[in-house]
Amino acid sequence: MGGIKVGTASWTDRTLLESGWYPPAADTPERRLAHYASRFPLVEVDATYYAPPAERTAQLWASRTPAGFTFNVKAFSLLTGHPTRVSALYRDLRPETEKRNVYPGDLDAQTYEEVWTRFLTALEPLAHAGKLGALLFQFPPWFTIRRDNKQYLLEVRERCAPMRAVFEFRHASWFDGDNEAETLDFLRRHRLPYVCVDMPQGYRSSVPPVLAATAELAVVRFHGHSTKWNSRDIYQRFGYRYSERELADWAPKLRELAGRAEQTHVLLNNCYRDYAQRNAEQLTDLLAG
């Protein structure tokens, strides 16, 4: 069985800081990251979806964590086709527009290429330190199973290399009927790591909890089962705490998945107060047991 790393999709969330999970002595960003890294070997950086990181920030992440610690980094929204705030773009690359949000097609080709270059360059300190696990490309609900979208997956892999991209879908078409086999076969054929998800069902963005390893790295993200998945309030969407029974049911499935991959990353994304951290601790114990 390949190694399993368990972590959470945040370590700086406001409600987490208010929850009391951090000891009083962890009163600075540096001390909080050090404390988190003493408890878990993996973390996912979600802030990079909303605004691209600075290279200096990546340098600090690398220097403030022990050897063997791993950061997965969520791709900037523009690079996955999501609407992106103009104010989130690099200042010198912002287009002259009255729009609040833009898409890749709203930028000229040179500007779009520069966003890619700067985003990846900023992460090089993590890569050089051996602490960059994967770049998470989570696509929007309108990214359906089409030939041009499959081609974009290959384009992303080439753009990111030698950094490793992993792919999460948010439209059920990738798994409807025979499409599930087609999707997984395509990913395996091209060694594209698939991100398995546990999430609420019955919504436009819902995909089933298909566990599969399509490359040397397998990734599982736990989003919870909130009944308010469509809420604009992020804490209502992700404010779900897994029960011990639910996690116990998942543990053998994760072990089986890890048997089909060299590495497996498990991220708790139910980021409200200390729900993700407590559940990650429980799951770690269950997997160890």
- pLDDT tens profile 175-209: 999 999 999 999 999 999 999 999 999 988 899 99
Tell me, what's the pLDDT at 42? Answer: 98
Tokens of 150: 């499959």
Q: What average pLDDT does the structure give for the chain?
A: 96
Q: Which value, to the nearest 10 degrees, does the dihedral of the CA atoms of residues 76, 193, 4, 41 take?
A: -20
Cα–Cα distance for residue pair 48/57, rounded to 1 Å: 11
Q: How far from the centroid of its chain's Cα atoms is residue 37's Cα?
A: 18
Can you give the pTM of this predicted structure? 0.96
Residue 230 — pLDDT band, cuts 50, 70, 90?
A: confident
Bond from prior residue into 162 cis (ω within 30 degrees of 0): yes
Residue 289 — pLDDT band, cuts 50, 70, 90?
A: confident
Tell me, what's the pLDDT at 225? Answer: 94
* Percentage, residues of the chain above pLDDT 70: 99
Task: Give the tens place of pLDDT for each residue, 48-96.
Answer: 999 999 999 999 999 999 999 999 999 999 999 999 999 999 999 999 9
Angle at alpha carbon of residue 240, lines to 236 and 246, rounded to 5°: 160
Q: pLDDT at residue 2 above 80?
A: no
DSSP string covering 184-221: HHHHHHTTPPBEEEE--SSSTT---------SSEEEEE
Task: Give the tens place of pLDDT for each residue, 114-157.
Answer: 999 999 999 999 999 999 999 999 999 999 999 999 999 999 99
Q: pLDDT at residue 111 above 60?
A: yes
> What b/e string do you get for 131-163 counting C-beta neighbours within 10 Å, with b at 16 or more?
bbbbbbbbbeeebbbeeebbebbeebbebbeeb
Please state the rounded mean pLDDT for residues 209-218: 97
CB atoms within 10 A of CB 129: 17
**Identity of residue 133:** G
Residue 159 — pLDDT band, cuts 50, 70, 90?
A: very high
Tell me, what's the pLDDT at 128? Answer: 98
Half-sphere exposure of 285 (CA within 13 A, CB side): 9
Tell me, what's the pLDDT at 205? Answer: 86
Strands 195-198 and 165-168: unpaired
Strands 101-102 and 84-85: antiparallel
Cα–Cα distance for residue pair 216/204, rounded to 1 Å: 30
Residue 263 — pLDDT band, cuts 50, 70, 90?
A: very high
Q: Which of 201-205, 210-214, 269-273 has the lowest mean pLDDT?
A: 201-205
Q: pLDDT at residue 1 above 60?
A: no
**Residues whose CB is less than 8 angstroms from the CB of residue 32 and which lie 6 or more positions away in sequence, other chains included:** 11, 12, 17, 22, 26
Q: How far from the centroid of its chain's Cα atoms is residue 31's Cα?
A: 23
* Percentage, residues of the chain above pLDDT 90: 94
Residue 35 — pLDDT band, cuts 50, 70, 90?
A: very high
**Identity of residue 277:** Q
Backbone phi, psi, residue 134, to 5°: -160, 160
Cβ proximity of 268 and 198 under 8 Å: no
Tokens of 218: 């397998």
234 or 43: which leads in pLDDT: 43
